[in-house]
Amino acid sequence: METIKGAVEHIVFRNSSNGYTVAHFDIEGDMVTVVGNFEELNLGEYLKMTGFWIEHKNYGDQFSMESYAMEIPTSTEGITRYLASGILPGIGEKTAKAIVKHFGEDTLDILDNNPDRLSEIKGIGKKTLAGIKEVYTEQREVRHIMIQIQDYGISANWAMKLYKTYKADTISVLLNNPYQMIDDIRGIGFKIADQIAEQLGFETTSPGRILAGINYSLSECYNRGNTFMTEAELVDTSSRILGVDADEIVYQLGELILMGGIIQETVRDQIVYYPRNLYEAEDNTALAMARISKGIYEIPNMDIEAKIKKYEKDMSITLDDKQREAIIAAMDHGVIIITGGPGTGKTTIINGIVRIFEEMGLKTVLAAPTGRAAKRITETTGHEAKTIHRLLEYEFSQNEDFPSFSKDEGNPLEVDAIIVDESSMIDILLMDSLLTAIQPGTRLIMVGDADQLPSVGPGNVLKDVIESDVVKVLGLERIYRQSAESMISVNAFEINHGHMPDINNESDFLFLNKNDGDKLLKDILELVTYRIPNAKGFKSIQDIQVISPMKKGKVGVVNLNKELQGVLNPPSDSRAQREFGMVIYREGDKVMQIKNNYRMKWEDVNGFEEGEGIYNGDIGILETINEREKSFTIIFNDGKRVVYDFDQMDEITHAYAMTVHKSQGSEFPVVIMPIVGGPPLFLNRKLLYTAVTRAKKLLILMGSNYVFRQMIKSGDSQERQTALKERIIDYINNPMI
């Protein structure tokens, strides 16, 4: 590691989203190119930077900055370059030299304390002097505060975040309650704030630290899918993280409750604690569900049986009793749930409900939690479906963890019925937002598979609503979507009920017993590249999807993507590539969008249509990488072509392999899934069932027969701690609702 000092001369490139910057610095009279992540960078700033020298194949020697700090130059040469850098209006190199020649090493002291003396320099008149004083005063405040912050051992990046938030109050906030930063500055969590507080000398038992630590411990609800923690869990977790006695935690818990930061409740005879927003979301959802359920939804003068018979005739189908009951229930109830596995006729019911509602003049909308799920229901029904975020008109905000919507109780959805597919993927926060925007009289039809994995976010909405037993639930078990040879749906049913499936090597459901990790990886690569394409005619990239329950390991998603890229899209002089972090992206790669980007512009490949919006889970091919334009282009599977800037590479990932959670809401012609040992939390029946039901034409499970059997026996994954079911029941039994 080396250290260099100098002033910013020219900013060549800057990525505002992650701070990556290419800039020219004046380092003791030499122009040096510096690359690295700067929270903010302004012309003329004088920095001390630590890093190492690298040689760029196109741009020569560069200094790769690892850390930096703001400083004040002390030599006359450094002061001259600092003033000549453009930091002050009206001062160029000639004037800077004149100032330093006149005042010497006292120049900056003169600027700080007696700037009017600059008028002694020829060429600096009243107007120029006024401009210099105004800018320098602001720069001085920034510089002095930044240097003070850095004296506490805080990095320049975090120092700038603090200054941008608190301005002149920065030092006061730091010295009084550094944990305030957690609420005020995105990206600063408890661990970073605690490190800063320790550098500032705060005691481990300080009330502010304990309060922040309890909130941090309670935030684990979001990672585990819970809406609350029991008192014992919260006290034990907080005590361990903070390194203080449980008595201290219990005392401060009372303070947090009084402050309204967390909510204390009794659930199933246990004292529990909620983050406030999860409590409000769960309670609001329960109340809204109870109100919708209690509503009267009758359609007078309507022969529904005749409508159903006409639908059957037009579609050349015969509905069974359960399907008929589902369509009728959608007319008579405020909310119903239609649940069932693949091939059980959910889409047939949705089509029937939409058609009959349309004939009655009722406006119906279709929605799903993800973009891929919305596209799939659009394709299978022929009716446009939107993501729930799009339906509720997502409003852009800095905090993507807690989105806001323009559709709410004051601006509700003007529709008569809402059909939501893949409802098992809806977390409690999104469900609360959806129900808030539903006005009285609107029907809600929730469709999904209650036996799939629950939502990534907190809550277990579909399961809890079903178990409340106050909503009309139609459980579909009869399998329709199968041919004489198909075993995917049949075996999925068996797995879901804890039974060992029929592993028939002549069917479309195959299990290959492989216990050697290296051999397993080799076989996956061979299956994808030539064995399946040669034997079945499927295309390696377009049709075959590898799904893994793990991210790490030889057959985890990370390594699988690297290995599959190596055999399906190896390096070539004819294909440009670009390194991003530890990953190399190459033209021709199979990639996936991993965050919703509602403002991303697209046009279809034929140039006939254009619009905005690319969604988490969208899959496509990386078409081009353009170093000159600093951009790359992806053609998604639905024909949308999107041009990204290089600084948006954090929005994509390779998609040769994906996790089971990422695969939810999608179906693929062929699915290959390795089954190896791992944490019981990940290897369970729900996860296996979810993966199996992603395959449409061919499923190949390969790995340990023992682990396969254990997953089937394991039953549900770890139960989530929620109280939505109990709250719905309480509100239903409340005569005032």
Which of residues 469 and 86 earns the better pLDDT score? 469
DSSP conformational letter for 719: P
Distance set, CA 275 to CA 175, 235, 238, 613 (Å): 27, 15, 14, 32
pLDDT given for residue 231 in this prediction: 96
Question: How far is residue 113's CA from residue 67's CA, in Å, rounded to a whole number?
Answer: 31
Phi, psi of 103, rounded to the nearest 5 degrees: -105, -15
647-671 residue pLDDT tens: 899 899 999 999 999 999 889 999 9
29-82 residue pLDDT tens: 889 999 998 888 887 788 999 999 998 777 789 999 998 988 888 888 888 877
Which of residues 567 and 45 earns the better pLDDT score? 567
pLDDT given for residue 402 in this prediction: 61
Task: Please indicate if the annotation marks 346 as binding a ligand.
Answer: yes
Mean pLDDT to the nearest integer, 697-718: 87
Mean pLDDT to the nearest integer, 724-730: 97
pTM metric for this prediction: 0.82
pLDDT given for residue 258 in this prediction: 93
Task: Please indicate if the annotation marks 76 as binding a ligand.
Answer: no
**Confidence at 475, pLDDT banded by 50, 70, 90:** very high
Which of residues 219 and 161 earns the better pLDDT score? 219
pLDDT given for residue 612 in this prediction: 83
3-state secondary structure 492-530: HHHHHCCCCCCCCCCCCEEEEECCCHHHHHHHHHHHHHH
Interior angle at CA 102, CA 101 and CA 106, nearest 5: 95
161-206 residue pLDDT tens: 888 889 889 889 999 999 999 988 887 889 989 998 998 889 999 9
pLDDT given for residue 70 in this prediction: 84
> What's the mean per-residue pLDDT of the chain?
90
Residue with tokens 């008109």: 393
Mean pLDDT to the nearest integer, 602-608: 85
pLDDT given for residue 33 in this prediction: 94
3-state secondary structure 520-573: HHHHHHHHHHHHHHHHHCCCHHHHEEEEECCCCCCCCHHHHHHHHHHHHCCCEC
Examine the pLDDT at 399 and tell me if it is beyond 70: no
**Confidence at 617, pLDDT banded by 50, 70, 90:** confident
pLDDT given for residue 435 in this prediction: 97
**Confidence at 589, pLDDT banded by 50, 70, 90:** very high
Examine the pLDDT at 397 and tell me if it is beyond 70: no
Interior angle at CA 212, CA 207 and CA 214, nearest 5: 95
pLDDT given for residue 647 in this prediction: 81
Which residues are bridge partners to 603 per DSSP?
610, 641
Handedness of CA 500, 502, 507, 510 (dihedral sign): positive
pLDDT given for residue 342 in this prediction: 86
Least Cα distance to 512 among 361, 666, 628, 675 occurs for 675
Examine the pLDDT at 146 and tell me if it is beyond 80: no
Examine the pLDDT at 17 and tell me if it is beyond 90: no
pLDDT given for residue 400 in this prediction: 54
Which of residues 270 and 627 earns the better pLDDT score? 270
pLDDT given for residue 716 in this prediction: 61
pLDDT given for residue 248 in this prediction: 93
Examine the pLDDT at 536 and tell me if it is beyond 90: yes
Question: How far is residue 496's CA from residue 686's CA, in Å, rounded to a whole number?
Answer: 7
Which of residues 157 and 131 earns the better pLDDT score? 131
Residue type at 698 in one-letter notation: L
Torsion of CA 608, 612, 618, 623, to 10 degrees: 60
Mean pLDDT to the nearest integer, 85-100: 84
pLDDT given for residue 150 in this prediction: 76
Examine the pLDDT at 726 and tell me if it is beyond 70: yes
Mean pLDDT to the nearest integer, 481-486: 58
3-state secondary structure 199-211: HCCCCCCCHHHHH
pLDDT given for residue 139 in this prediction: 76
**Confidence at 557, pLDDT banded by 50, 70, 90:** very high
Beta carbons within 10 angstroms of residue 33's beta carbon? 16
Q: What percent of the chain has pLDDT over 90?
A: 61
Give the orientation angle of helix 304-315 with respect to helix 321-332, to 10 degrees.
130
**Confidence at 482, pLDDT banded by 50, 70, 90:** low
- Strands 668-675 and 695-703, bridge-based pairing: parallel
Domain architecture of the chain: domains with CATH: 2-148 (2.40.50), 173-278 (1.10.10.2220), 281-482+724-729 (3.40.50.300), 499-714 (3.40.50.300)
95-115 residue pLDDT tens: 989 999 999 999 988 988 899
Residues 6+ apart with CB under 8 A from 21: 11, 13, 14, 15, 34, 35, 36, 37, 38, 41
DSSP conformational letter for 53: E
Q: Are 614 and 597 in contact (CB under 8 A)?
A: yes
229-272 residue pLDDT tens: 999 999 999 999 999 999 999 999 999 999 988 999 999 999 99
Question: How far is residue 507's CA from residue 343's CA, in Å, rounded to a whole number?
Answer: 17
- Two tokens, residue 509: 């459901």
Task: Please indicate if the annotation marks 343 as binding a ligand.
Answer: yes
pLDDT given for residue 206 in this prediction: 94
Examine the pLDDT at 483 and tell me if it is beyond 60: no
**Confidence at 391, pLDDT banded by 50, 70, 90:** very high
